[in-house]
Amino acid sequence: MRAFVIHDTAGYIRAVVTAPPDAPPLAGPAQPGELLSEVELEDYRSETDDQERLESLLRVAQDFRVELEQNARLVPKPEA
């Protein structure tokens, strides 16, 4: 699943938006210090239930951060 994430410079996700494969790219983030990256949600299932879909995206923001190398990718957050 194609997704766009708004994150800080440390990679911590503030928002996740999914998009169909043929959707145009999103515009840049609204807040200073935020970055917008496109990532692939490999394990994301597009559940038909809105609540399940929301919970799945919330888990992405809670459990992952964005790592920027050549391309943005999701990596597990370090244990606190």
For residue 66, the cross-strand partners are 74
Query: pLDDT per residue over 14-73, tens digit each?
Result: 999 888 888 887 877 778 889 999 888 876 666 568 888 888 889 989 999 999 877 788
Q: What is the pTM of this model?
A: 0.77
Please provide the size of the chain in residues. Answer: 80
Longest dimension (CA), the chain: 38
79: which 2 tokens? 């244990």
